[in-house]
């Protein structure tokens, strides 16, 4: 008999629905027992859509259910750390969306609860499961680029999120670039020691008025001495643009954007290729399922998860260092933040 | 309540398993009630693998089951026409792999049975559901290439099938190029009037000894006057290579091969892109599911199927004309074969 | 002291001016002594433009000048064979534009005169000097594709020539596809034994009324058994499209079109690459100079030219065979034409 | 009669020979009267090679010759400012390789001499004449990217220069990245206000021991608020890699590397494209000639040169600011350097 991990999903928003669809339809070893949202109607609607038996307005109750093995935390960022802690205390494994929290004490409290309980925690850095980025990481690990010199990450969203979202997001470094800070660590299996950030408001003045930036460049120095640069823009009208390159002594490995097809039009207007897949939901469709498959395998085989709690903490530190660097117009040592 | 089409699958070979996996795991509106194979062990094994309740060594019986709405015919080519006829007489819809048969009388008998019963028949020309080819067809229909001049189809398998398969396959024109004959019709919504074929044994002399060829070029003339050329090779060691181009008065639309990723390595050896997806199972993974989704929609909504019986007949005629042209070293009018 | 080959140019039309510019400005080992054209004003104008001392309305006289080592024959096709003969009899080397003549007796008479005189004759198959096609030929010779299976040549002009030109051109097979017939021989170092042609009028009905076609597909069989296909269109509105591919047992080698730059625009309209270089003058700019450099080296070093008289004859035979095949709707053995 | 600019070349090293070849062989409106080098044998050898009448070991004398209109200064960097001054005082126009000098007082003295004499001075930022970069700049000017957000410049040499060269080069920012600082200004027609630099020794520890770095990232802020990032590496084993991208509100415009051909090999090892042209001499072959053509046009038509003295000064300021930022680990305002 096939063994299944029984899930409860907390949060029925956009990303909660992505995981609900994957867990109910695309992934063999999973079962979704319940979904909870502080807005009970949202939970009910998603439950109906994906045939989930139980919908609840009370996450805490759902987390403690006996018939639940693992919690998928898809609620808003400020609730992540608390739900991780509740899950750990209830003896449940947790898969949690990034970031764990916007401030380190909250992150550390959650990680301590997990350490104490011995449950598993995986952070939702879905891009680690994208075949392009994984291919580049594997090439680096296989020694194909030799000694690393430079990492270059280009990350552009097709359009900025609503201002209401921006206001509570923690800012570009913690909300958007957090993925790239994780990618920096993923690609090289090394830690960053120094961060230097520049930012600007170019896309929409209202983003600046909301206290955030929409365009940024961050340079980083790894412990091994290699350098990295991340560029972010909240708007690329041709579609989400996510490219990564690692240059080293033996050459470089990079990736182009995924496209919906490989059709090319040759007309008087030019030789026209397809635009990149529009946004993360399209681009990372398979990666979202694969990260949960990986989490389920770690539970069923009782092995280490592929994206640990400390993998969730490190990019928060880098984002905080970037913020500080941006404000103080100087290079910031990661050591300025307690380990 | 969601409505489901109840399927029986006939044939538990490679393509039967592809459809079994899609119908049981990836497609919402389907249910597989039974699977039959003349080798009962094969049916049983596939039934176990995909959780199909009933396995049988008797296709005829399974086709007549009351709890079955539609038959997926995945058995060997020489049985297709007969199973289509049985399905039609039992009032069942049929989805049948290509080709319907290797000779026209058998094709016509099967189509007559379907016409009489009023059931639906869809032919498994999966490439019509590939996003690249569909994108090109749509561009042509939208007038993006203007008046068509030339259609160019390149079709190469990564490796030849076993000789045992080749011997019963009907030959390259009926077995391999049949897909391209269908593509010729799909891309332009026009019929072919004239066929001229050349062939050679280049890949493996044993294929020649088995009475077949492994390399071929066929040129065709559409009723509208446009020309087409199909090239086939049984072997491209870098992976399956399937490209299509339509040139017209406003330009050309073509496609590159799909690849597993978009990773590029820049080394002293060159700038190295990923090879094409290896073979049809990888390349047409999504297309195999989409053709069944289309068939299910046609049943549930009682609309015309997207690939009709006469769409299944026409490429057989073209393949027979190509064979004749190849043997007689002359251009063959399609009209030489009765309508 | 640097040795120079002293040229006379016959013909001051478009291609004559290309060669005049190359010989006077881009090529070190050449000197242009005179230019002749049946229209003396044309000769004078080109002479002025490129600083050529002597302009003449009398080609025969210019060919016999004592201070001339080599003749560049750039006049209209029907005069080629005669000027080759005159040059040979005057003991001058000749570089002659393709084709040598539209009919074999004229070709053979010219080649006989050259053979008798022992002078050098090089035919202007400029595409043999294009780095892409040469790179593919070299890869084939180096064994990179293994045993050859299939050669595919796509050749499209951006726009048809004037009808007046078409009328005297000898038809698409002898005027346009002649380059591709040469390419077929160049890529594989093998001879063609069988030809099968299809053609259509798609671009402009007036071309049909002038007795020609504007769209054609020709398939060929090499002595070694490999197959080739050439497709031609007189119009590709996005620019001249000239691609070549050789498939063999170890893979395929192909080329993309040259473009004026490698700029890519990513906009809402798509990811837009540069169009191909517009026409042969742009695409083969360097090749036109390189073929003359090669001719000059052969003269100065007294070695065999890279494109011989029999290289000029063979494509004429293939074009004549294609015409016959097109008219008679059957495969034509090259042996039907005397060797 | 065609008007010619009479040149003297100062410096017979690698770049001096490039300009000598272009001025004597590829450019119509130029004549080279003399070449001088502090090593007279070098001057003589280059004079012989390109048929230059006069070779000298005395640059000052050559600069003052009556039959010279313009000086091409191709000597080592520390002599540039002085030769510019000498040329200006002699009433000669000057084309000078980058950088004008490694320190601002020397730059300013040279520019003052030019201003006083009213002669023309063009700086050898050859990349401004590369069709790719020029195409991007033109697209930006035409409004194709809309309001600019981000400029990304990737610049990698295939191999580091000799250590002896590195020691006198002024360091990576002044020697290598100077081209990119110019590119930053060229692409956007805007000035930079803030610079932040990171650097590392990754390619060769000996470069570090010589007091330089070989890997660097610099971020810049334009007056308009847009950001830019430049990455440099002294080694990319697959060939020189020079890519540029401008992202703005309407999309992005970028370029791929130029390659010697467009040949693609499809083998079991992958789909292999040509490597980039190896180094600047190959990549910018045409640009080196075009910058001199532009200079000659400016002289003959008495118009403003395309790359002015202040275009030569500004990148020196940016390089000095980058050095300061790198040493002090902070963002440096360009205003810290006097205008």
Q: Tell me the pLDDT tens digit for each residue of C75-108.
A: 999 999 999 999 999 999 999 999 999 999 999 9
**Interchain pair A263, B253: CB under 8 A:** yes
Quick one: how far is CA C324 from the chain centroid? 22
Q: What is the pLDDT of residue A1?
A: 40
Answer yes or no: do C103 and C228 share one domain.
Answer: no
**Interchain pair A264, B254: CB under 8 A:** yes
Q: What is the pLDDT of residue B338?
A: 64
> Is the residue at A299 inside a domain?
no
**Interchain pair C236, B217: CB under 8 A:** no
Contact C312, C98 (CB under 8 A): yes
Find, in chain D, the residue whose alpha carbon is nearest to that of C28. Answer: D25
C268: chain D residues, CB-CB within 8 Å: 250-251
Q: What is the pLDDT of residue D338?
A: 65
How does DSSP classify residue C330? B
Show Cβ contacts of residue A228 under 8 Å, excluding neighbours closer than 6 positions: A150, A151, A152, A153, A184, A188, A192, A219, A220, A221, A222
Measured CA to CA, the distance from residue C192 to residue C318 in angstroms comes to 8
Measured CA to CA, the distance from residue A59 to residue B195 in angstroms comes to 68
Q: What is the pLDDT of residue B1?
A: 40
C156: chain A residues, CB-CB within 8 Å: none
A266: chain C residues, CB-CB within 8 Å: 236, 238, 241, 275
How many Cβ atoms sit within 10 Å of the Cβ of residue C301? 8
Measured CA to CA, the distance from residue C56 to residue C50 in angstroms comes to 15
Answer yes or no: do D138 and D115 share one domain.
Answer: no
A225: chain D residues, CB-CB within 8 Å: 200-202
A330: chain D residues, CB-CB within 8 Å: 329-331
Answer yes or no: do B110 and B133 share one domain.
Answer: no
Find, in chain D, the residue whose alpha carbon is nearest to that of B277. Answer: D270
Statement: residue C180 has pLDDT above 50: yes
> Is the residue at D302 inside a domain?
no
Measured CA to CA, the distance from residue B198 to residue D8 in angstroms comes to 66
Percent helix, strand, coil in chain D, to 5, is: 40, 25, 35
Q: Tens digit of pLDDT for each residue in B11-35?
A: 999 999 999 999 998 898 999 999 9
Answer yes or no: do B83 and B228 share one domain.
Answer: no
CB contact B172 to A (< 8 Å): no
Answer yes or no: do B193 and B78 share one domain.
Answer: no
Measured CA to CA, the distance from residue B63 to residue B94 in angstroms comes to 10
Domain count, chain D: 2
C241: chain A residues, CB-CB within 8 Å: 266
Measured CA to CA, the distance from residue C336 to residue C31 in angstroms comes to 44
Instruction: Please report where in the chains the tokens 């205008």 appear, as a residue.
Output: D339
Q: What is the pLDDT of residue C282?
A: 87
C-alpha atoms less than 13 angstroms from C-alpha of C159 in its C-beta half-sphere: 6
Domain with C326 in it: what CATH number? Answer: 3.30.360.10
Percent of chain B with pLDDT over 90: 94
A156: chain C residues, CB-CB within 8 Å: none
Q: Tens digit of pLDDT for each residue in B42-97?
A: 999 999 999 999 999 999 999 999 999 999 999 999 999 999 999 999 999 999 99
In this prediction, residue C156 has a pLDDT band, given cuts at 50, 70 and 90, of very high
Answer yes or no: do B73 and B161 share one domain.
Answer: no
Secondary structure E strands in C60-208: 70-73, 93-96, 121-123, 148-156, 192-200
Of C217, C225, C250, the CB nearest to B219: C217
Answer yes or no: do D280 and D132 share one domain.
Answer: yes
Q: How close is the nearest chain D Cα to the Cα of C256, in Å?
A: 5
For D261, the token pair is 């051909």
Q: Tens digit of pLDDT for each residue in A203-218?
A: 999 999 999 999 999 9
CB contact B261 to D (< 8 Å): no
Mean pLDDT for B119-135 is 97
Measured CA to CA, the distance from residue C22 to residue C286 in angstroms comes to 9
Chain C residues 25-44 within an 8 A CB cutoff of chain D: 25, 28
Answer yes or no: do D17 and D100 share one domain.
Answer: yes
Pick the residue of A242, A262, A287 with the most B CBs within 10 A to test the interface with B by mutation.
Answer: A262
Residue B258 phi, psi dihedral angles, 5° rounding: -75, 145
C275: chain A residues, CB-CB within 8 Å: 266, 268, 270-271
The answer to whether the peptide bond before residue A99 is cis (omega within 30 degrees of 0) is yes
CA B103-B104-B107 angle, to 5 degrees, is: 100
C-alpha atoms less than 13 angstroms from C-alpha of C71 in its C-beta half-sphere: 35
Q: Tens digit of pLDDT for each residue in B128-143?
A: 999 999 999 999 999 9
The answer to whether the peptide bond before residue C47 is cis (omega within 30 degrees of 0) is no
**Interchain pair B271, D238: CB under 8 A:** yes
Q: What is the pLDDT of residue A282?
A: 86
Answer yes or no: do C221 and C324 share one domain.
Answer: yes
Low-confidence ranges of chain D (pLDDT < 70): 1-2, 338-339
Instruction: Please report where in the chains the tokens 């404000």 appear, as a residue.
Output: A327
Find, in chain C, the residue whose alpha carbon is nearest to that of B215. Answer: C149
Contact D272, B271 (CB under 8 A): yes
Measured CA to CA, the distance from residue A74 to residue A15 in angstroms comes to 6
> Is the residue at B153 inside a domain?
yes
Find, in chain A, the residue whose alpha carbon is nearest to that of D159. Answer: A249
Q: Tens digit of pLDDT for each residue in D216-243?
A: 999 999 999 999 999 999 999 999 999 9
Answer yes or no: do B64 and B186 share one domain.
Answer: no
CB contact C282 to D (< 8 Å): no
> Is the residue at B25 inside a domain?
yes
Contact C5, C69 (CB under 8 A): yes
Q: What is the pLDDT of residue B283?
A: 87
Percent of chain B with pLDDT over 70: 99
C254: chain D residues, CB-CB within 8 Å: 263-264, 266
Mean pLDDT for B106-114 is 98
**Interchain pair C215, B150: CB under 8 A:** yes
Q: What is the pLDDT of residue B293?
A: 97
CB contact B237 to D (< 8 Å): yes
The H-or-E segment that residue C264 falls in is strand C263-267
CB contact D331 to A (< 8 Å): yes
**Interchain pair C263, D252: CB under 8 A:** no
Q: How close is the nearest chain A Cα to the Cα of D174, in Å?
A: 20
C260: chain D residues, CB-CB within 8 Å: 131
CB contact A250 to D (< 8 Å): yes
Show Cβ contacts of residue C15 under 8 Å, excluding neighbours closer than 6 positions: C74, C97, C124
Size of interface B-D (CB pairs under 8 A): 51
Pick the residue of A157, A205, A331, A334 with the most D CBs within 10 A to test the interface with D by mutation.
Answer: A331
Q: Final residue of a domain: which of D72, D91, D119?
A: D119
CB contact B261 to A (< 8 Å): yes
Show Cβ contacts of residue D179 under 8 Å, excluding neighbours closer than 6 positions: D98, D125, D127, D155, D315
How does DSSP classify residue D306? S
C268: chain A residues, CB-CB within 8 Å: 237-238, 275
Q: What is the pLDDT of residue D153?
A: 98
Neighbours of chain A (3+ CB pairs under 8 A): B, C, D
Answer yes or no: do A84 and A198 share one domain.
Answer: no
Find, in chain A, the residue whose alpha carbon is nearest to that of D202. Answer: A149
Q: How close is the nearest chain C Cα to the Cα of D235, in Å?
A: 22
Q: What is the pLDDT of residue C339?
A: 59
> Is the residue at C292 inside a domain?
no
In this prediction, residue B279 has a pLDDT band, given cuts at 50, 70 and 90, of confident
Q: Final residue of a domain: which of D87, D119, D151?
A: D119
**Interchain pair C247, B236: CB under 8 A:** yes
> Is the residue at C296 inside a domain?
no
Domain with C18 in it: what CATH number? Answer: 3.40.50.720
Measured CA to CA, the distance from residue A24 to residue C20 in angstroms comes to 74
Which is it for strands C241-248 and B192-200: parallel, antiparallel or unpaired? unpaired
Instruction: Please report where in the chains the tokens 């080196």 appear, as a residue.
Output: D288
Is this model's pTM higher than 0.80 or not?
Answer: yes
> Is the residue at C156 inside a domain?
yes
Q: Tens digit of pLDDT for each residue in A246-292?
A: 999 999 999 999 999 999 999 999 999 999 999 888 889 899 999 99
> Is the residue at C307 inside a domain?
no
Measured CA to CA, the distance from residue A213 to residue C332 in angstroms comes to 72
| Lowest mean pLDDT, pick from A137-151, B256-270, C188-202, D270-284 | D270-284
Q: What is the pLDDT of residue C2?
A: 63
Measured CA to CA, the distance from residue C24 to residue B311 in angstroms comes to 62
Q: What are the DSSP calls for D131-172, one per residue?
A: HHHHHHHHHHHTTTT-SEEEEEEEEE-SSPPPHHHHHHS--H
D156: chain B residues, CB-CB within 8 Å: none
Question: Which carries the bigger pLDDT value, residue A337 or residue C252?
Answer: C252
Q: What is the pLDDT of residue A166?
A: 93
Answer yes or no: do D168 and D236 share one domain.
Answer: yes
ipTM of the complex: 0.95
**Residues, chain C:** 339
Mean pLDDT for B226-245 is 98
Q: Final residue of a domain: which of A119, A149, A179?
A: A119
Question: Range of D100's domain?
Answer: 5-119
CB contact B217 to C (< 8 Å): yes
């Amino acid at each position: 008999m096939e063994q299944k991990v029984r899930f409860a999903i907390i949060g029925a928003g956009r990303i909660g629905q992505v995981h609900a669809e994957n867990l109910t339809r695309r992934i063999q070893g999973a079962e979704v027992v319940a979904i909870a949202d502080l807005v009970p109607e949202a939970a009910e609607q998603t439950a109906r859509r994906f045939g989930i038996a139980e919908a609840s307005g009370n996450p805490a109750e759902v987390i403690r259910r006996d018939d639940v093995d693992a919690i998928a935390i898809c609620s808003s960022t400020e609730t992540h750390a608390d739900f991780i802690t509740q899950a750990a205390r209830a003896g449940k494994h947790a898969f949690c969306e990034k970031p764990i929290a916007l401030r380190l004490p909250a992150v550390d409290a959650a990680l301590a609860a997990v350490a104490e309980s011995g449950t598993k925690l995986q952070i939702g850095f879905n891009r680690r499961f994208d075949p392009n980025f994984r291919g580049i990481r594997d090439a680096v690990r296989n020694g194909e680029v030799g000694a690393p010199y430079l990492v270059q990450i280009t990350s552009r969203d097709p359009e900025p999120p609503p201002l209401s979202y921006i206001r509570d997001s923690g800012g570009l470094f913690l909300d958007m670039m957090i993925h790239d800070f994780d990618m920096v660590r993923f690609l090289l299996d090394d830690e960053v020691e120094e961060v230097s950030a520049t930012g600007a408001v170019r896309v929409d003045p209202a983003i600046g008025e909301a206290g955030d930036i929409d365009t940024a460049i961050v340079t980083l120095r790894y412990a091994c001495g290699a350098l990295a640069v991340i560029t972010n823009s909240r708007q690329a009208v041709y579609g989400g643009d996510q490219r990564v390159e690692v240059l080293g002594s033996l050459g470089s490995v990079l990736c182009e954007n995924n496209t919906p097809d490989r059709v090319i039009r040759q007309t008087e207007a030019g030789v026209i290729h397809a635009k990149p897949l529009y946004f993360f939901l399209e681009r990372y469709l398979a990666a979202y399922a694969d990260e949960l498959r990986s989490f389920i395998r770690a539970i069923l085989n009782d092995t280490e998860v592929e994206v640990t709690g400390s993998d969730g903490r490190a990019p928060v530190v880098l984002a905080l260092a970037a913020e500080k660097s941006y404000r103080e117009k100087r290079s910031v040592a990661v050591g300025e933040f307690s380990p």
